[in-house]
Amino acid sequence: MKNTKLIGLLLSLLTLASCSQDSTTSAVSADQSAIVATIAADYSSGAHAVISKDASGVRSALNDLLPTASDITVASYGSNFYRIERAFAGNNITKFSSSDAQTPIWQYSTNDVGSAVLSNPYDMIFVSETKAYVLRYGTSVAWIVNPSAATEADFKIGELDLSAYADADGVPEMSGGVIADGRLYITLQRLDNFAVTQNAYVAIFDVNTDLEIDALIAGDTLYGIPLQTRNPGNIIYEPISNSIFVQGSGSFWPEEFTGGIEKIDIASLTTTVVVDDGDAVTHAYGLITELAVVSDSIIYFVGYVGFADNTLYKLDLTTAQITATGVVSLFNGQIASLSVDAAGLLWVSDSANATVRVIDPVTDTEVDALYTNLNPDKVVFVQ
């Protein structure tokens, strides 16, 4: 397949079918910088951008840093960020400091030594400066790694075996993760060669022992939590309600409304669907592709009617009222990612206009817009 646009369309469909948009970041001050994975409109290249404030509080973007392939995402912890180069970008992770966003500290492979299997690293979930988990979408084994390792030989320090959740294609499609109360929660899409035919799960591991925890679901031989929605992407912890929110996209091709937004009570490990994406006849928002949790009462999500027909919605959990955003640019456009910074502002990757839009959820109005040259995708934050 040599046609660049066709490759780009394939990549976009695979990403939408298996996106993972929430990476654990450390608690940081409100004056943080944003790191943005950026992707060319034709999917021919990628890079990263840095959005920061000057002494007057004015934000600006430094774009097109270290160009690479388009199949990338980012993660962060403390003052460092990590560019994750997925299956079509080399199967590597590259570490940077926020003080020098253009100079790699290290770049390490996520492939198994001697194996031809592409690990396809999807996310990096942090316990500390010296311990993190790398979710490898193309395998059934997640890596436990030391992000401060001085050599590649010292990078991998352990494994999590998720093969029990694999389906006919041999892999469980680990897509996202979050840490809450000393436990790692990993979403498992369980796609069968990209077909959304299996129930998804959330596996739970103790971050101190790295042993899997049995959710004790009656009649289930698997340890994890079975989800009511399929094809999970974003997974986000909300501390006030002590809950985890999971967004499921359902199926893009063929279109099947088996997704939505699900809430997991981590005390009881029970799940509740808070937004149902509907069915083939009635689906008010289309498929649901992105999620941001602003507080215990406010969440945002993206309704996907088509590739260039996405709309941002706001849900008040206390009233169950869902309203379309007041930001006109985020009606019927292309929205790649949602993130929330330490100040509680919502960052929206408007990939139709190569712009990151900063929204105040209190007023649901745009307070800033930063042009990124290439289309913005995932946004994370650093000190």
Instruction: Say whether 12 sits in a helix, a strand or coil.
Output: helix
Band of the pLDDT at 21, cuts 50, 70, 90?
A: very low
Query: CA-CA distance, 342 to 364, in Å (whole number)?
Result: 17
Rounded average pLDDT over 139-162:
98
pLDDT at 117: 97
Distance, CA of 113 to CA of 159 (rounded, Å): 14
Predicted confidence (pLDDT) per residue in 329-348, tens digit = 999 999 999 999 999 999 99
Residue 2 predicted with pLDDT over 80: no
244-253: average pLDDT: 98
pLDDT digits (tens, 9 = 90+) for 293-319: 999 999 999 999 999 999 999 999 999
pLDDT bucket at 375, cuts 50 / 70 / 90 = very high
Closest residue by Cα to residue 147 from 180, 101, 110: 110
Q: Which is nearest to 131 in space by CA: 142, 143, 147? A: 147
Token pair listed for 137 = 């979408």
What is the mean pLDDT of the segment spanning 191-214? 97
Is 335 in contact with 325 (CB distance < 8 Å)? no
> Is the model's pLDDT at 20 over the cut of 50?
no
SS3 34: strand
pLDDT average, residue stretch 133-148: 98
Confidence of residue 31 (pLDDT cuts 50, 70, 90): confident
Q: Which domains does the chain have, with CATH numbers?
A: 4-382 (2.130.10.10)
How far apart are the two ends of the chain, measured CA to CA in Å?
Answer: 42
Query: Can you tell me the mean pLDDT for 209-216?
Result: 98
**In terms of residues, how long is the chain?**
383
Region 12-31 average pLDDT: 42
- Give the separation between CA 199 and CA 230, rounded to whole angstroms: 6
The pair phi, psi for residue 131, each rounded to 5°, is -145, 130
Query: What CA–CA distance (Å, rounded) separates 255 from 245?
Result: 23
Residue 176 has a CB neighbour count (10 Å cut-off) of 28
Instruction: Round to whole Å and give the CA distance between 267 and 244.
Output: 11
Categorize the per-residue pLDDT at 128 as very low, low, confident or very high, splitting at 50, 70 and 90: very high
CA–CA separation, 38 and 170 (whole Å)? 31
CA dist 130 and 55 (Å) reads: 32
Amino acid sitting at position 354: A
Q: What pLDDT does residue 30 have?
A: 54
9 falls in which pLDDT band (50, 70, 90)? very low
The per-residue pLDDT for range 162-179, each reduced to its tens digit, is 999 999 999 999 999 999
pLDDT of residue 173: 98
Q: Which pLDDT belongs to residue 14?
A: 41
| H/E stretch holding 11 | helix 4-17
User: What would you report as the CA-atom Rg of the chain, rounded to the nearest whole angstrom?
Assistant: 19
* Beta bridge pairs of residue 350: 335, 355
DSSP assignment, residue 6?
Answer: H
What's the pLDDT at 13?
Answer: 40
Is residue 22 pLDDT above 70, yes or no?
Answer: no
Residue 194 in this model has a pLDDT that exceeds 50: yes
